[in-house]
Amino acid sequence: MKTFTSTNFFAHTFCEFQQVNSDFLTKNKFHFKSKAGSQYFYTDEGVYRYSNHWGRVANCRWRLVSNEKIKNQNYYLGFAKWTDFYALNETEKQFYISVDFENKTVDFHHKETSETAFLFFAETAQKRVAQIRKLFSDDTWANYFVTDIETLRKKIISAYIQSNKTLQQIKVELR
């Protein structure tokens, strides 16, 4: 496993930063400011990132984990340990999808956090997450089924995150 530091964490990595209190900003001066305006402070343990854009960042995928709804263009401070960074490539399936049916939320995570999950390439996982969000937010697709929408939604999404089948293939199988 590759070791990440302040000299290489910004090249083709996946990471979930944890949102931290912005009081840190009043006590510390950042080490680096990117062309896009993000600021970075390095420690022996990891990196603080103050930014108004999360998700796809240049050639990286960096997510901010927060208890609040994150809005692009608003600045947030996140921290990640060096051990929270994973090499990102499109030659290896590295990501799994998790779904919370009760709260109707979905996200994808690096395989290092689960030993048994069905894995996808990063781009595939991201596209599937978007399609699952549509299944949660729109019910018109269910008009052609006679099963209860919540039961149907759970069956379709569960099959979708545990296989390489397309959403259309799964829907046809359930008719």
128 contacts 97 by C-beta, under 8 angstroms: yes
What's the CA gap between 54 and 67, in Å, rounded? 15
pLDDT band for position 73 (50/70/90)? Answer: confident
pTM (2 decimals)? 0.79
What's the CA gap between 143 and 157, in Å, rounded? 17
pLDDT band for position 95 (50/70/90)? Answer: very high
Taking residues 124-136, report their average pLDDT: 95
pLDDT reported for residue 112: 81
pLDDT reported for residue 158: 96
Question: How high does pLDDT run on average in the chain?
Answer: 91
Region label for 111, one of left (φ > 0), alpha (ψ between -120 and 50) or beta (otherwise): alpha
Q: Which residue has the higher pLDDT, 113 or 63?
A: 63
pLDDT reported for residue 1: 65
pLDDT band for position 20 (50/70/90)? Answer: very high
